[in-house]
Amino acid sequence: MSASREKKQRQSDPVGGLTQKQIQDRKEAQIKKRNMTIYTIIGVIVAVLVVALLVWHSGFFQSRTTAMTVDGRNYTPGEVSYYYNSVKQQNAYYLAMMGMYDTSKSAQEQYYDEEAGTTYYDYFMDTAKSQMIQVKTLADAAKEEGMTLSEDSQASVESSIESYKSQATQSGYPSLNSFLKAYFGQYMDQKVLRSCLEESYLAQQYYQAHSDSLTYDDSALQSYYEENKDSLDTFDYRSIYFSGAAASTTDEDGNTVEATEEEKTAAMDAAKEKADALLAQVQGGESFDNAANDALADDSNLTYDGQQSVVGSSLNSAIKTWLTDAARQPGDVDVVESEGNGYYVVQFDGRALDEESIGQADVRHILVKAEVAEDAEEPTDEAMEAAKEKAQSILDEFEAGDKTAASFGVLANEYSEDPGSNTTGGLYEDVTRNSSFFTGFLDWIFADGRKAGDTGLVENTQEDQWGWHVMYLDTVDQVQWKYTAENALRSSDMSAWVEEMTSGIEAVDGSGLKYVE
């Protein structure tokens, strides 16, 4: 055989002249190599799946999904959770107190309106959507106008975060993030919280700036008064109430037995008879006071407070329609039913617009604290009396001078122990009846007949604030009716402004919304 033919034969022979053992070894090596490749591929696939599973359970992918889209902007589940759970936390407690909501159950399991098929989840989420639309719209407008967070707004953001940190510590959570996840949901963290707070405060800042820019002259306030006299006028009247409630009884087992319809009707008829008798007495020439006192002598359960002066917006609904009737004249008296409950005998004495009661004012004060012993929880009577004597001496010093706001401010900076005002002359501006001062402080400012320049002393029995205040009414900014009118006009205009800005903007659900609740 030639050499070339032998070479070709070797090339065409797959075993190449190998022995059977060599052939078997080669096959086993090839199988082993193939299996190794397969195992490696499987191992890589398993590893990838394990990593993907871990990442999935960490919330990495879910937290980056789109839960809501508002005007072209995508919101993550964490951001939507901030708004949703803020609404839920604000409402759930009070709803639970009224027996309308069970905090141990999911909001999706409870109906807000069963007939309409609306759950509390729907209710909370709809409210959250409205807030998101408003916050985004106002914040975007603020940014377009170059507005940034003010120092006060930045301080509010930091204060809010510190408050959450404090709650986390008090509740025993190891970190702020773990508390936020429990409070707002799995996809909330400090970064998301800060972002939401900053946007919310910027929106509030922009809202307040626009509100502050609105002004209302006397003509606008007078027009509002003409349209709302029944709410703004003060009504002088006398009234006494005869209850028509039928008494319930108890059975032999001590169970309450409700009155029958016949008993209820009889009780109302008896109340009407008494009311009619008093009405006849007054119409016969007896004064209302004397007739009411005669009724009191016969029935110790009755009460009578004499003439009352009440602003229309605060009138008892049962007698408001009668009192505000445009045809009503001083001296009119009648029996008015309180639907199914009893009867009032009412006398109309007059109505007028109160031009003196204060609605908003600037006030100055000097706080003199009572000394509290190191081992005591509160000051002694002697310590309170000493504080009062010092406060009186400061007031006497003021009265001996020129008695101006400026001179009072000098004394406040020198003597006051209130860190919130002892560098600003003791001044608090724009104080209203709803301001966050203690009751005695506000009662002094808004007492009947109070006027600018008045002074006085007010006791403070609040914890850590025990002592006495030297008071000075600096300025009356607005009388009550004008303050009420301006706020009503401002509120209406602001609502219309927000509605116009947010008109047509919708919050569209995204696939990530399922991670919110």
pLDDT tens digit sequence for 381-411: 999 999 999 999 999 999 999 999 999 999 9
Percentage of the chain modeled with pLDDT above 90: 77
SS (H, E, C) 254-274: CCEECCCHHHHHHHHHHHHHH
- Which residue type is seen at 453? G
Contact 470, 394 (CB under 8 A): yes
Q: Is the pLDDT of residue 253 over 90?
A: no
- The token pair at 89 is 């936390």
From CA 361, how far away is CA 28, in angstroms rounded?
99
Q: Is the pLDDT of residue 149 over 60?
A: yes
Q: Which run of H or E residues covers position 441? A: helix 439-445
Please count the other Cβ atoms lying within 10 Å of the Cβ belonging to residue 333. Answer: 18
At residue 39 the predicted structure's pLDDT band, cuts being 50, 70 and 90, is: low
Quick one: pLDDT at residue 415?
97
Quick one: pLDDT at residue 50?
44
Q: Distance from CA of residue 285 to its chain's centroid?
A: 52
pLDDT tens digit sequence for 282-322: 999 999 999 999 999 999 889 999 999 999 999 999 999 99
Quick one: pLDDT at residue 20?
66
CA distances for 217 relative to 4, 212, 214, 455, 509, angstroms: 118, 14, 10, 30, 45
pLDDT tens digit sequence for 319-368: 999 999 999 999 999 999 999 899 999 999 999 999 999 999 999 999 99
Residue whose C-alpha is closest to residue 332's, from 264, 413, 236, 420: 236
pLDDT tens digit sequence for 50-74: 444 444 344 555 676 999 999 999 9
Quick one: pLDDT at residue 35?
61
Stronger pLDDT, 28 or 297, i.e. the higher one: 297
Quick one: pLDDT at residue 19?
66
Q: Is the pLDDT of residue 461 over 60?
A: yes
> In the chain, what are the domain boundaries?
16-56, 77-213, 234-352, 358-478
- Which residue type is seen at 358? I
Its CATH class, for the domain covering 234-352, is alpha beta
Helix (H, G, I), strand (E, B) or coil at 308: strand
At residue 4 the predicted structure's pLDDT band, cuts being 50, 70 and 90, is: low
User: Average pLDDT over the chain, rounded to whole?
Assistant: 89
Q: Is the pLDDT of residue 42 over 80?
A: no
Domains 234-352 and 358-478 share a fold: yes
From CA 456, how far away is CA 471, in angstroms rounded?
5
Quick one: pLDDT at residue 52?
41
B/e letters for 128-142, b = 16+ CB within 10 Å, e = fewer, are bbebbbbbbbbbbbb
Contact 128, 200 (CB under 8 A): no
Quick one: pLDDT at residue 84?
94
Q: Is the pLDDT of residue 87 over 70?
A: yes
Please count the other Cβ atoms lying within 10 Å of the Cβ belonging to residue 398. Answer: 20
Quick one: pLDDT at residue 374?
86
Q: What is the mean pLDDT of residues 87-95?
A: 90
At residue 258 the predicted structure's pLDDT band, cuts being 50, 70 and 90, is: confident
- pTM exceeds 0.85 for this model: no
Torsion from C-alpha of 355, 360, 366, 372, nearest 10 degrees: 110
From CA 20, how far away is CA 156, in angstroms rounded?
87
From CA 272, how far away is CA 205, in angstroms rounded?
56
Please count the other Cβ atoms lying within 10 Å of the Cβ belonging to residue 66. Answer: 17
From CA 171, how far away is CA 179, in angstroms rounded?
8
Q: What is the mean pLDDT of residues 270-287?
A: 97
Contact 60, 77 (CB under 8 A): no
Q: Judge: domain 358-478, CATH 3.40.50.620.
A: no
Contact 345, 319 (CB under 8 A): no
CA geometry: angle at 464 spanning 462 and 467, to 5°?
65
What DSSP line would sit under 207-267, residue for residue? HHHHHHH----HHHHHHHHHH-HHHHSEEEEEEEEEE-PPPPEE-TTS-EEPPPHHHHHHH
**Lowest pLDDT segment from 29-33, 122-126, 159-163, 346-350:** 29-33
